[in-house]
Amino acid sequence: MRIYGSYSDSELAFLLTKGDELAFTEIYNRFYALLFIHASKRLNDEEEAKDLLHQLFESLWVKRMQVAPDGNLSGYLYAAVRNRILDVFAHSKVENKYVASLQDYIDQDHVQTDHLVREKQMSMLIEQEINALPPKMREIFILSRKENKSHKEIAIQLGLSELTVKTQVKKALKILKSRLGLVIYVTLLFKTYR
pLDDT at 147 over 70: yes
6 compared with 124, residue with greater pLDDT = 6
Percent of the chain at pLDDT exceeding 70: 71
10 compared with 179, residue with greater pLDDT = 10
pLDDT of residue 88: 80
Q: Which domains does the chain have, with CATH numbers?
A: 4-89 (1.10.1740), 108-193 (1.10.10.10)
Q: Are 174 and 147 in contact (CB under 8 A)?
A: no
pLDDT of residue 111: 45
pLDDT at 106 over 70: no
140 compared with 114, residue with greater pLDDT = 140
Q: What is the DSSP letter of 63?
A: T
* Helices 151-158, 162-193: crossing angle, 10 deg rounding: 130
- Angstrom distance (rounded) from CA 91 to CA 73: 27
83 compared with 174, residue with greater pLDDT = 83
Work out the average pLDDT over 160-178: 81
Phi first, then psi: what are they for 84, rounded to 5°? -70, -35
Angle, alpha carbons 169-175-178 (nearest 5°):
135
pLDDT of residue 156: 92
Q: Are 76 and 17 in contact (CB under 8 A)?
A: no
Provide the pLDDT confidence category of residue 143 given band limits of 50, 70 and 90.
Answer: confident
HSE-CB of 151 using CA atoms within 13 angstroms? 12
- Average predicted confidence (pLDDT) for the chain: 77
pLDDT of residue 92: 67
pLDDT of residue 186: 44
25 conformational bin, left if phi > 0, alpha if psi -120 to 50, beta if neither: alpha
Spatial CA neighbour of 40 closest among 88, 73, 90, 91: 88
Q: How many residues does the chain have?
A: 194
- CA–chain centroid gap for 56, Å, is 14
pLDDT at 185 over 50: no
Instruction: List the single range of 5-9, 34-38, 176-180 with lowest mean pLDDT.
Output: 176-180
